[in-house]
Amino acid sequence: MIDDLRFFHVVASSETLTAAARELQCSLPVVSKRLSALERRLDARLVHRGTRRLVLTSEGELFAARLAPILDQVSELEDLVGPRTGELRGTIDVQATLGLGRAHIAPLLGEFTARHPRLDVRLHTSALPLRPHRREFDLAVHVGTPPDSALRMRRLAKNRRIPCAAPSYVDRRGLPERIEDLAGHDCIVLRENEGDFALWRFGDARNPRQVRVRGRLSTNDGDIATGWALQGHGVIMRSEWQVRTHLESGELVRVLPDVPTPPADIYALRTGDAPVPRRISELIKHLAARLPGRIAGSSQP
């Protein structure tokens, strides 16, 4: 039964059955046959057939959500009764945003696994929104306000988004004097997390302000957006950690420097109410200890 739970956890976390087969290191027919056998035993259809992307049925969604804490408890039990070596064992599925994942989370995960040779960590970077009901991750690293208030979270590092532009753009178009002036500027739109990417927010919780911007350039890749700004194509709203070195070098200048912007802190997110396995709690501690120092001296766009 536990093997079936682990099997379906991989299936439910995959984009396709082919991806699940790759993760399970077996053939697609074997995965399909095992999934059908599990459905017969449960007398329930778990996955919709005939779609390109793997889509769970309502029963499959429920099964995936409920099995996650069970697997966590099994891993904790194995740690308790296993050899008392203090070693971390098992697997951690980590999800992170594209830019932060490449620049900082991946190196920190490399450090962590080097210290714990019996631990497997799988990192998935994506611009897509988190889907907690699909149980796609054991731990997600997210920039900004978490998309689901039911998620358990710990702040890893402080951060905020700020508007900036290249001196060449400022020479050509001038600096906006008010938030509302941004509506008349060329703004580079970053399509992140399928949110309202053209609505830029300013102020604080007591005095929130916002402006809808537009521009001819948009992308879901933060590095591309920053590159366009460096070339003088428009104003960007980017996390402070991503543009700090460009501001310090003068390649970018702050736009509306006297107008505050709301926090966009970096969080570690977990789903469910089950006790946190030690391997995950130790990884969160590692990220919280190392990430602030890395981003303070970041040279990545």
Q: 251-281, pLDDT tens digit by residue?
A: 999 999 999 998 899 999 987 666 778 889 9
CATH class of 161-254: alpha beta
pLDDT computed for residue 203 by the predictor:
86
Query: What are the tens digits of pLDDT across the range 73-82?
Result: 777 676 666 5
Classified by CATH at the fold level, domain 1-69 comes out as: Arc Repressor Mutant, subunit A (1.10.10)
Going 134 to 267 to 261 to 128, the CA torsion angle's sign is negative
**What is the per-residue pLDDT across 182-237, written as a single tens digit (0 to 9) for each?**
999 999 998 765 555 688 999 887 888 999 999 899 988 888 999 999 999 999 99
Is 83-158+265-301 in CATH node 3.40.190.10? yes
Same fold, 1-69 and 161-254: no
Residue 184 DSSP label? G
294 backbone dihedrals φ, ψ, rounded to 5°: -65, -50
> pLDDT (tens digit, 9 = 90+) per residue, 51-110?
678 889 999 988 988 887 787 777 767 666 655 556 788 788 899 988 899 999 999 999
Q: What percent of the chain has pLDDT over 70?
A: 87
Other C-beta atoms within 10 Å of 27: how many? 11
Q: For position 89, what pLDDT does the model report?
A: 80
Tokens of 91: 């697997």
The residue ranges of every structural domain in the chain are 1-69, 83-158+265-301, 161-254
